[in-house]
Structure 1
Amino acid sequence: MEQQSIAVLKQLFQQDKIKESQLKQLKKDPRKGVQQLVKAYEKKLAKVRQLEFKFKEMSRIEDYYYDRGYHYIAGMDEAGRGPLAGPVVAACVVLPKDFKLLGLNDSKQLTEATRTEFFTIIKKEAISYGISMIDNRTIDNMNIYEATKLAMLQAMEQLDPQPNHMLIDAVELEGLTCTYDAITKGDAKSISIAAASILAKVTRDNRMKEIHSEYPEYDFSSNMGYGTKQHMEALARFGASPYHRRSFAPVRNVTKC
Structure 2
Amino acid sequence: MTIPIKEIEQQLKTITSPDDPTIALWRKDARKGVIRLLESFDKKIKKQESLHNKFMKMSLFEKEARDKNITLIAGVDEVGRGPLAGPVVSAAVILPQDFYLPGLDDSKKLSDANKTKLYEEILYNAVSVGIGFSGAEEIDRVNIYQAAKLSMTRAVEDLSVKPEMLLIDAMALELPISQQSIIKGDEKSISIAAASVIAKVTRDRYMKELSIIYPDYKFEKNAGYGTREHLDGLASFGPCKEHRKTFAPVRLSVNE
> TM-score, structure 1 length as denominator?
0.95
Kept after mapping to 1: 8 A contact 2:245/2:254: no
Is the aligned partner of 1:68 residue 2:68? yes
Match of 1:203 in 2: 202
Kept after mapping to 1: 8 A contact 2:75/2:194: yes
Matches within 5 A, 1:138-177: 138-174=138-174, 176-177=175-176
Kept after mapping to 1: 8 A contact 2:89/2:199: yes
The residue identity in structure 2 corresponding to 1:55 is: F
Is the aligned partner of 1:84 residue 2:90? no
User: Is the partner of 1:254 in helix, strand or coil?
Assistant: helix
User: Is the partner of 2:173 in helix, strand or coil?
Assistant: coil
What is the CA distance between 1:50 and its match in structure 2? 0.3
Match of 2:29 in 1: 29
Distance in 2 separating the partners of 1:34 and 1:229: 49
The residue identity in structure 1 corresponding to 2:159 is: L
Distance in 2 separating the partners of 1:185 and 1:4: 50
Is the aligned partner of 1:232 residue 2:231? yes
Kept after mapping to 2: 8 A contact 1:238/1:256: no
What is the CA distance between 1:16 and its match in structure 2? 2.2
Structure 1 residues 96 and 148, CA gap change in structure 2 (3 angstroms): same
Match of 1:93 in 2: 93
User: Is the partner of 2:253 in helix, strand or coil?
Assistant: coil
Distance in 2 separating the partners of 1:28 and 1:212: 58
Kept after mapping to 2: 8 A contact 1:76/1:91: yes
Match of 2:50 in 1: 50
What is the CA distance between 1:216 and its match in structure 2? 2.2
The two structures, once aligned, show a CA RMSD in angstroms of 1.4
The residue identity in structure 1 corresponding to 2:166 is: M
> TM-score, structure 2 length as denominator?
0.96
User: Is the partner of 2:167 in helix, strand or coil?
Assistant: strand
Match of 1:250 in 2: 249
The residue identity in structure 1 corresponding to 2:210 is: I
Matches within 5 A, 1:211-222: 211-222=210-221
Deviations 1:9-64 (A, max 9, x none): 11111122776211111111011111111110010000000001100100011101
User: Is the partner of 1:71 in helix, strand or coil?
Assistant: coil
Structure 1 residues 138 and 195, CA gap change in structure 2 (3 angstroms): same
What is the CA distance between 1:70 and its match in structure 2? 0.3
Kept after mapping to 2: 8 A contact 1:74/1:92: yes
What is the CA distance between 1:160 and its match in structure 2? 2.9
Is the aligned partner of 1:116 residue 2:104? no
Distance in 1 separating the partners of 2:211 and 2:249: 19
Kept after mapping to 2: 8 A contact 1:240/1:256: no
Distance in 2 separating the partners of 1:256 and 1:221: 26
What is the CA distance between 1:256 and its match in structure 2? 7.2
Distance in 1 separating the partners of 2:16 and 2:185: 37
Distance in 2 separating the partners of 1:52 and 1:167: 21
5+ residue gaps, structure 2, are none
